[in-house]
Structure 1
């Protein structure tokens, strides 16, 4: 396993209106010791320039797409962006790729077919354009995609998963590839309030079959997916409570085999408000 990393996953870095506010937030995370900033690349036809702006505005912190959709960003564009970012900032940019979801793939309803085969074709195109496996990771959930991540990328960036998945993913990947699960957290020790905040996040994801099918493999059922998730499922997916309780939940992923945990602080669905205070507290406890 690689050296332990504590990183940030935050929609703010794509959703934030102000370039200066985004770069200021990135600089603070860098000063706090976080290893990498992950954020969605959205669903446009290219990797957003915001990722390059963060790289240009910081010195050492890594930057990664979590994820760029293989249905939206052409492979040639992904290679061009990665090459440009790597030339300017060697070793700091990582291309996270994912098969996304049928519900967000535009066009013909039959377009979202055989996402695994689509990923293989996409990686073939990246290879043909000269990209090396070390420059990318896959948003792998199931066994086949985890094996593909092991064999043809630097590792896996699972999203919306439990500690049990982290354990399985490490076993599937072996000891060397990167395993960087996203872990959403709520710093609120009131159970009702914390779970209500968590359900603003879980409700949308539990409508996506890729995630629910993955959770079913670990024994969760339809009853757990209703109304934003059962208490038991919410608690398994999202560490909440005091700083000590939240960090214990994050540490469980490290103990399960993660060598990088990408922390998403949930702040009531406000993607344009950066939760700086929470990231300061987490850095003090974890880094």
Structure 2
């Protein structure tokens, strides 16, 4: 089995009060985690947990997976990234992505238009803005007039792009510093990662970060019930449905999609095959979960990042201790 010199955990931990997350981050670093990555969706924002972690850790790498390309203006996103990069010199990575129409349009009342072009323009803008240079330019999807980030950043952060399918993954490899992946199995990585790492005309290494869903229990019935709820919540979103159709799961997931569209929620949950849940959501003993994460590495992931799903009666911090690198 392949090994990884980097080993990540998603923060903040679900089930631990936010006021205690600083202590958690210290312990995670002491346990040997090399990376702490935040997310931004239904819970906390993505930057505040990293600021907390930056204040209490020494060497651990910090990343956001992801900040939406739409919900912050370009200059504000550059300011925020520069502030964190200056707070934790050399150990911050900015992950951006289109997100989804649900988060962008339905939750934030913003137009979810031309996501590929928006991400391309944002990567190009951030490359310049994070050097401190004044930007006065009309891009295809937005215009920045005379903005300069007034935070000195000695080492601009790497910029990674979240991608699901072809053109976004190609953009991640060609213009960003790599990609952020989620909602895929270890074997799926073999189809996705080469699109990033094999981008034409690029001879520099690219990172492939994967957020890997983990249910920290060896009770398969409980784990699969939690996994099924997550699958119905996400894979019915159009962009994720299209992703899994592209990956070849149309036949396996069609009964779930049909039942969900008909409003038959219980039937939709029951229609998801066990082997699909097991492939997309790791569970079992800590050793089994660790082996599953290392399978992702063997197939092309450079930074595996566990994303713990809450389990009744399971202490998330103890789960982190159990999953710490060996």
Contact kept in structure 2, 1:8 and 1:264, CA below 8 Å:
yes
Can you list the C-alpha shifts for 1:7-59, whole angstroms capped at 9, x where unaligned? Answer: 0124538x96533x011111111001111111123489x86433212201211
2:77 corresponds in structure 1 to 78
Q: Helix, strand or coil for the counterpart of 1:106?
A: helix
Query: Residue in 2 aligned with 1:165?
Result: 188
1:92 maps to which residue?
91
Q: Tell me if the contact between 2:104 and 2:110 (Cα under 8 Å) persists in the aligned partners.
A: no
Question: For the residues of structure 1 that align with 2:187 and 2:46, how far apart are their CA atoms?
Answer: 32
Q: What's the RMSD between the two structures over aligned residues? A: 2.8
8 Å Cα contact 1:201/1:266 also seen in 2: no
Q: Which moved more, 1:94-103 or 1:115-124?
A: 115-124
The answer as to 2:316 corresponding to 1:275 is yes
C-alpha spacing 1:87/1:134, structure 2 compared with 1 (3 Å):
closer
Aligned to 1:145: 168
- Structure 1, unmatched stretches of 5+, are none
Out of 63-72 and 118-127, give the one that drifted further: 118-127
2:282 to 218, 236, 239: 239
Query: Matched residue of 2:105: which SS?
Result: coil
Where structure 2 has 5 or more consecutive residues not aligned to the other structure, the ranges are 132-154, 199-204, 260-267
The aligned residue for residue 6 of structure 1 is: 7
TM-score by length of 1: 0.86
Measured against aligned partners, the alpha-carbon deviations of 1:50-71 in whole angstroms (never above 9, x if no partner) come to 3212201211111111111111
Aligned length, in residue pairs: 279
Q: 2: distance between equivalents of 1:158 and 1:6? A: 15
Question: SS where residue 169 of structure 1 aligns?
Answer: helix
Distance across 1 between alignment mates of 2:21 and 2:285: 27
Tell me the secondary structure at the aligned position of residue 281 of structure 1.
helix
2:126 paired residue number: 126
Greater share of strand: 2
1:198 corresponds, among 219, 227, 233, to 227
Corresponding residue for residue 135 of structure 1: 158
Alpha-carbon separation, structure 1, partners of 2:256 and 2:308: 23
Structure 1 residue 269, shift from structure 2 partner: 8.7
Q: How does 1:92-111 map to 2 (within 5 A)?
A: 92-106=91-105, 111=111
Map 1:38-53; keep pairs closer than 5 Å.
38-42=37-41, 48-53=47-52
User: In 1, are the aligned partners of 2:84 and 2:92 still within 8 Å (CA)?
Assistant: yes
Which stretch has the larger CA shift, 48-57 or 205-214?
48-57
Distance in 2 (CA, whole Å) between partners of 1:69 and 1:209 is 17
Contact 1:60 1:92 (8 Å CA) reproduced: yes
Cα distance change of structure 1 residues 274 and 155 upon mapping to structure 2, 3 Å threshold: farther
TM-score normalised to structure 2 length: 0.77
Q: Secondary structure at the match of 2:282?
A: coil
Distance in 2 between residues matched to 1:166 and 1:68, nearest whole Å: 22
Q: Is residue 266 of structure 1 aligned with residue 295 of structure 2?
A: no
8 Å CA contact 2:96, 2:159 repeated in 1? yes
State how far apart, in whole Å, the 1-side matches of 2:304 and 2:310 are.
19
Deviation at 1:274, TM superposition (A): 6.7
SS of the residue corresponding to residue 89 of structure 2 reads: coil
Task: Report the alpha carbon displacement of residue 84 of structure 1 after superposing the two structures with TM.
Answer: 2.0
SS in 2 for 1:8: strand
